[in-house]
Structure 1
Amino acid sequence: MLLSNKAKGYILGAIAAATYGMNPLFALPLYADGMDADSVLFFRYMMAIPVMGLLLRMRGHSFSLASGRLAELAVLGVVVALSSLLLFLSYNYMDSGVASTLLFVYPVMVALIMAFRYGERLPPVTVVCIAVTLVGIMMLNRTAAGAGLSATGIWMVMLSSAA
């Protein structure tokens, strides 16, 4: 049975979200062994670069850039790096499970940016989903041990999700 491109997209999106949510599974043991967020991310991306290069080559894509694209890619690279760094730094200020859960507020941010910056209309179902998400976030105001969440950690995750 062949899957449609839409079905493949949903499956791959779910896999991507699940594996991205597993970041702490690999980062926290490295932190416990003395590595910091910068080092963890450095090695993470240094291992990913050859894999991405191999995938590009297997699909017949060139590594060359169109003229004038280097500056644009450099800016986007800095944004991605900041997003990852802020998330991994937030693990030092709050429970990694809470941080990773809060990270998934980015669809809300995208919807709000599209509405306020670009004038896109928010359908009622989207407004309800945003409200439910915000209520859920407010319910995460305490850790399992009863301690309050770190404001620094929350800001780091929110900036990470906005990047």
Structure 2
Amino acid sequence: MVFGIVMVSLSAIVYGVIPLITKTIYEFGFDAISISFFRFFLMIPILLVICIIKNKSLKIGILGLLNIFLFIALPSGLTMLLLNESYNYISIGTATTLHFLYPAFVILICIFYYHQEIERKILISLLMIMIGISCFMDRIDYKGIFGIILAFLSAITYAIYLVQLEQKKFYDLDPMVLSLYTSICISITLGIIGFFSKSLLFESCNYDNRIPLYFIILSFFSMIAIVSLQIGTRYLGAKLTALFSLLEPITSIVTGVVCLQEELHFLKIIGCLFILIAMLNIIFSKSKNKKKNSKMTM
């Protein structure tokens, strides 16, 4: 379990830094679709080289590829598009807060669709996390109801993505291979969307020699985050992965304060504390259960 927590925490921390890189690329005139396209497109050669060096089998079959597209690439890609599009209607803080309701949706899916039992301490931790997340909320402008709907939908699609990662049809796939085919599927989908929406024409972009480097860094960080998340999910399952992924907004806040000199409000500090206490509650409860089980077997 400890290894799973480390991997998911690493993924969450890297995901928390990615918005800083993305924001820098936005300043050159790129939009959400073009950034997302290159983010995944540039991951393909990196992952392919790693798979070849490590002699990993790339055979998955047509059915396997279709499953990856429908259950992994599609919800993952939709999450990015829905969340980025919501920024056009509501504040980034509000959109991000609504998106991070996804642990609740993960648990709801596990209860009502997969009929799984949820431990009481996990539910208590989830409640604490929801209180903490609510502290990050900006004032809602109800004129932006469409943006609120988009952000909610991004939470649902991301929850579906996390739940699918622990399913057997993906559990048996190597994380590097799964990430490779996911990147290919998302790149093709975003490439088609970008072509018809003319997002890949770069007419409004200001070229700078640093842009390729920023995209490479973004793709490399994304690869670390995605692969770590997939590995961590295999050890923790979707429910605990969703809860420990909440280190991401904390990392984003810290990064914003340190790198962008953003103002740190008292409520955000309280929110971070609620999330951290909830995570510690899960860790301690799991370690106690492990000790009890080991005593019973002696």
Q: Do the two structures share a fold, i.e. TM-score over 0.5? A: yes
Equivalent of residue 162 in structure 1, options 134, 156, 162? 156
Distance 1:46 1:134 in 2: 34
Equivalent of residue 10 in structure 1, options 5, 18, 21? 5
Q: Which of structures 1 and 2 has the larger relative contact order (alpha carbons within 8 angstroms, sep 6+)?
A: 2
Q: What SS is found at the alignment partner of 2:56?
A: coil
Change in 2 beyond 3 A, CA 1:154/1:74 = same
Q: Please, what is the CA RMSD of the aligned residues? A: 2.6
Structure 1 residue runs without a partner (length 5+):
1-5
Q: What SS is found at the alignment partner of 1:22?
A: helix
> Alpha-carbon deviations, 1:74-106, whole Å to 9, x = none?
213222211122223333344445544543332
Which residue of the partner structure matches residue 50 of structure 2? 55
Instruction: Report if aligned partners of 1:27, 1:40 keep a CA contact under 8 Å in 2.
Output: yes
Taking structure 2 as the reference length, the TM-score comes to: 0.45
Which residue of the partner structure matches residue 122 of structure 2? 126
Q: What SS is found at the alignment partner of 1:33?
A: coil
Distance 1:157 1:135 in 2: 18
Instruction: Report if aligned partners of 1:91, 1:99 keep a CA contact under 8 Å in 2.
Output: yes
> Alpha-carbon deviations, 1:39-75, whole Å to 9, x = none?
0101111111111212222322122223422322221
Deviating more after overlay: 119-128 vs 32-41:
119-128
Q: What SS is found at the alignment partner of 2:113?
A: helix
Instruction: Report if aligned partners of 1:106, 1:162 keep a CA contact under 8 Å in 2.
Output: yes
Distance 2:6 2:123 in 1: 26
Change in 2 beyond 3 A, CA 1:119/1:7 = closer
Distance 2:120 2:4 in 1: 26
Distance 2:50 2:148 in 1: 35
> 2:117 matched to 1:114?
no
Identity %: 28
Taking structure 1 as the reference length, the TM-score comes to: 0.76
Structure 2 residue runs without a partner (length 5+):
158-298
> 2:42 matched to 1:33?
no
Which residue of the partner structure matches residue 184 of structure 2? none
Distance 1:41 1:74 in 2: 16
Residue type at the aligned position of 2:30: M
Instruction: Report if aligned partners of 2:79, 2:154 keep a CA contact under 8 Å in 1.
Output: yes
> Alpha-carbon deviations, 1:14-34, whole Å to 9, x = none?
111011122321222322322
> Alpha-carbon deviations, 1:96-139, whole Å to 9, x = none?
45544543332221111111222222322222223223333443
Tell me which protein shows more helix as a share of its residues.
2
Give the number of the structure whose alpha-carbon radius of gyration is greater: 2
Distance 1:100 1:83 in 2: 12
Which residue of the partner structure matches residue 142 of structure 1? 138
> 2:87 matched to 1:91?
yes
Distance 2:148 2:83 in 1: 10
Instruction: Report if aligned partners of 1:141, 1:148 keep a CA contact under 8 Å in 2.
Output: no
Instruction: Report if aligned partners of 1:105, 1:133 keep a CA contact under 8 Å in 2.
Output: no
